[in-house]
Amino acid sequence: MRIAHVTDFYLPRLGGVEMHIHDLAVRQRSAGHHVEVITSSPGPGVDRREHEEDDRLHVHRLTDAEMFPWARPAALRAGRGRLREGGYDVVHVHAGPLTPLAYAATALAADLPTVVTMHSLISYVEPAFRLLNKSMHWASLPAVWTAVSDVAAEPLRRLVDPAPVHVLPNGIDATEWRVEPLPRDPGEVLVVAVGRFAARKRPVHLLRVLRRASEQLPPGTRLKAVIVGEGPKRPVMERYLRHHGMTEWVSLPGRLPRAEIRSLFARADLFVAPAILESFGIAALEARSAGLPVVARSEGGIGEFVTDGLEGILADSDGAMSDAIVRLATDLAWREEMAVRNRTIPPSVAWPEVLDRTAEMYELASNRLRPGRTYRVVG
**Where does the pLDDT of residue 66 fall: very low under 50, low under 70, confident under 90, or very high at 90 and above?**
low
pLDDT tens readout for residues 298-319: 999 999 999 999 999 999 999 9
What is the structure's pLDDT at 124?
A: 75
**Where does the pLDDT of residue 68 fall: very low under 50, low under 70, confident under 90, or very high at 90 and above?**
low
What is the structure's pLDDT at 228?
A: 97
State mean pLDDT over 277-283: 92
In the predicted structure, residue 255 carries a pLDDT above the cut 80: yes
In the predicted structure, residue 47 carries a pLDDT above the cut 60: no
Domains of the chain with bracketed CATH: 2-171+350-369 (3.40.50.2000), 174-344 (3.40.50.2000)
How buried is residue 298: exposed, middle or buried, by Cβ count under 10 Å (0-12/13-18/19+)?
Answer: middle
Rg (CA), the chain: 21
Write phi, then psi, for 62 (nearest 5 degrees).
-90, -10
In the predicted structure, residue 52 carries a pLDDT above the cut 60: no
How buried is residue 110: exposed, middle or buried, by Cβ count under 10 Å (0-12/13-18/19+)?
Answer: exposed
In the predicted structure, residue 260 carries a pLDDT above the cut 50: yes
In the predicted structure, residue 55 carries a pLDDT above the cut 70: no
What is the structure's pLDDT at 374?
A: 47
What is the structure's pLDDT at 372?
A: 54
Peptide bond into 162 cis (omega under 30): yes
pLDDT: which is higher, 132 or 24: 24
Lowest model confidence (mean pLDDT) among 56-70, 241-255, 358-372: 56-70
**Where does the pLDDT of residue 46 fall: very low under 50, low under 70, confident under 90, or very high at 90 and above?**
very low
Closest CA to 292 of 303, 278, 306: 306
pLDDT tens readout for residues 140-172: 899 999 999 999 999 999 999 999 999 999 999
**Where does the pLDDT of residue 370 fall: very low under 50, low under 70, confident under 90, or very high at 90 and above?**
low
State mean pLDDT over 62-73: 67
The rounded distance, in Å, linking the Cα atoms of 308 and 315 is: 8
Looking at residue 335, what DSSP letter applies?
A: H
In the predicted structure, residue 65 carries a pLDDT above the cut 70: no
- pLDDT cut 70: percent of the chain above it: 92
What is the structure's pLDDT at 67?
A: 55
pLDDT tens readout for residues 130-141: 887 777 788 889
Closest CA to 279 of 354, 167, 199: 167
**Where does the pLDDT of residue 12 fall: very low under 50, low under 70, confident under 90, or very high at 90 and above?**
confident
pLDDT: which is higher, 65 or 8: 8
What is the structure's pLDDT at 70?
A: 53
Helices (H) then strands (E): counts for the chain: 13, 14
On average, the pLDDT of the chain sits at: 90
In the predicted structure, residue 289 carries a pLDDT above the cut 50: yes
What is the structure's pLDDT at 377?
A: 44
pLDDT tens readout for residues 168-178: 999 999 999 99
The rounded distance, in Å, linking the Cα atoms of 231 and 235 is: 9
pLDDT tens readout for residues 188-246: 999 999 999 999 999 999 999 999 999 999 999 999 999 999 999 999 999 999 999 99
